[in-house]
């Protein structure tokens, strides 16, 4: 009979969590401080240099730029795999593959996203507060709106496209999971290699769509172009494509990552 504790034990997971935090708290703290400084500097710079109105659209642009940093944090999961010496210690640390995998999902994705959201919210207020004290901002009369996530959602709804409402979060989710899982496939320069692979896969996808456009709409398609408007998007539109990608990421990529971790050798 299979014992559940052979796969997951809460007490062992707590010990692994404590182990990770004790060994890496300085790195986490440093990453957090750097993230705060970068967010603050970026928002303040853009607010001070804004000519008319700094509203939700501008916040959204800055938010997307900052998401790159979150992607880098997620993509640098399993830091022990940077060298064979630390990989050996990691693989021999008493814990199951599932516990080690969930721990990284927890620290890199769940905690990472929560801390990121909170940090962006706090830095938005701090940057606005600072910007409003700048003489140039006072003189130019630039309007800097207050930030809130609910305005994000409202603004997205304003586009009157239900797909667009969650599109940003779905795309961020797909990229995040991709970077997280691909970390287990590469030892050195994992983020860079993952990005190159991602761009390559996107290029293959686009090329396929271009090829299909040329096949099914030969008269309407010119050069490297996708005849998107001619596809029957009511049946399977871009929103459904994104949703399908999220499901594939969850159903295929996350278990794939688990097995990559399980098969890791030194």
Partner 1 sequence: MININNLSFYYKKKSALFNEFSLELENGRIVGLLGKNGAGKSTLLHLIAGLIQPKSGEMSVNGYTPYSRNPTFLSEIYLVPEEFSFPHVSIATYIKAFSPLYPAFDHQKLNTIFEEFELSTTFNLNKLSHGQRKKFLIAFALATNCKVLIFDEPTNGLDIPSKSQFRKILVSSITDEQIVIISTHQVKDIDTIIDKIVVIDEGKIIYNENSEDITRKLYFETVASLPVDVKVLYSEQCPFGYKVIKSTSSMNESSLDMELLFNGIINKSI
What residues make contact with partner 1 under the rule CB under 8 A?
6, 9, 12, 15-16, 18-19, 22-24, 26, 83, 85-86, 88-89, 91-97, 99, 262-263, 265-266
CB 101 within 8 A of CB 264: no
The nearest distance, CB 258 to partner 1, in angstroms, is 13
Nearer to partner 1, 17 or 122 (CB): 17
Residue 240 DSSP label: H
Q: How far is the CB of 108 from partner 1 (least distance, A)?
A: 17
Residue whose CB is less far from partner 1, 88 or 138: 88
Give me the least distance between CB of 78 and partner 1, in Å please.
14
**Nearer to partner 1 among residue 83 and residue 240 (C-beta):** 83
Which tokens in the block code for residue 229?
A: 């408007």
Alpha helices in 76-220 (DSSP H): 84-92, 97-104, 111-131, 135-140, 149-158, 162-182, 190-216
Q: For partner 1, which is the closer residue by CB, 3 or 52?
A: 3
Which of residues 51 and 92 has its CB atom nearest to partner 1 in the complex?
92
Instruction: Report how far residue 163's alpha carbon sits from residue 207's, in angstroms, rounded to the nearest whole number.
Output: 24
CB of 24 to partner 1, least distance (A): 7
| CA–CA dist 148, 152 (Å, integer) | 7
The residue whose two tokens read 């957090």 is 32
Residue 160 Cβ vs partner 1, minimum distance, rounded to whole Å: 52
CB 54 within 8 A of CB 34: no
């Amino acid at each position: 009979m299979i014992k559940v504790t052979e796969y997951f034990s809460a007490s062992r997971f707590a010990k692994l969590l404590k182990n990770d935090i004790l060994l890496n708290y300085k790195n986490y703290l440093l990453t957090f401080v750097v993230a705060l400084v970068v967010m603050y500097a970026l928002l303040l710079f853009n607010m001070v240099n804004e000519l008319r109105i700094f509203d939700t659209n501008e916040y959204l642009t800055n938010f997307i730029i900052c998401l790159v940093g979150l992607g880098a944090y997620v993509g640098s999961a399993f830091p022990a795999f940077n060298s064979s010496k630390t990989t050996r210690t990691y693989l021999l640390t008493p814990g199951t593959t599932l516990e080690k995998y969930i721990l990284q999902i927890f620290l890199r994705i769940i905690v990472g996203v929560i801390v990121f959201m909170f940090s962006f919210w706090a830095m938005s207020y701090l940057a606005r507060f600072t910007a409003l004290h700048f003489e140039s901002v006072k003189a130019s009369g630039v309007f800097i709106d207050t930030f809130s996530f609910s305005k994000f959602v409202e603004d997205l709804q304003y586009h009157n496209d239900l797909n667009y409402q969650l599109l940003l979060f779905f795309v961020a989710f797909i990229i995040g999971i991709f970077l997280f899982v691909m970390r287990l496939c590469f030892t050195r320069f994992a983020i860079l290699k993952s990005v190159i692979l991602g761009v390559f896969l996107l290029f293959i996808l686009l090329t396929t769509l271009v090829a299909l456009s040329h096949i099914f709409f030969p008269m309407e398609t010119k050069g490297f172009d996708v005849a998107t408007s001619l596809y029957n998007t009511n049946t399977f539109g871009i929103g459904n494509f994104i949703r399908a990608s999220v499901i594939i990421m969850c159903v295929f990529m996350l278990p794939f990552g688990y097995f990559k971790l399980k098969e890791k050798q030194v």
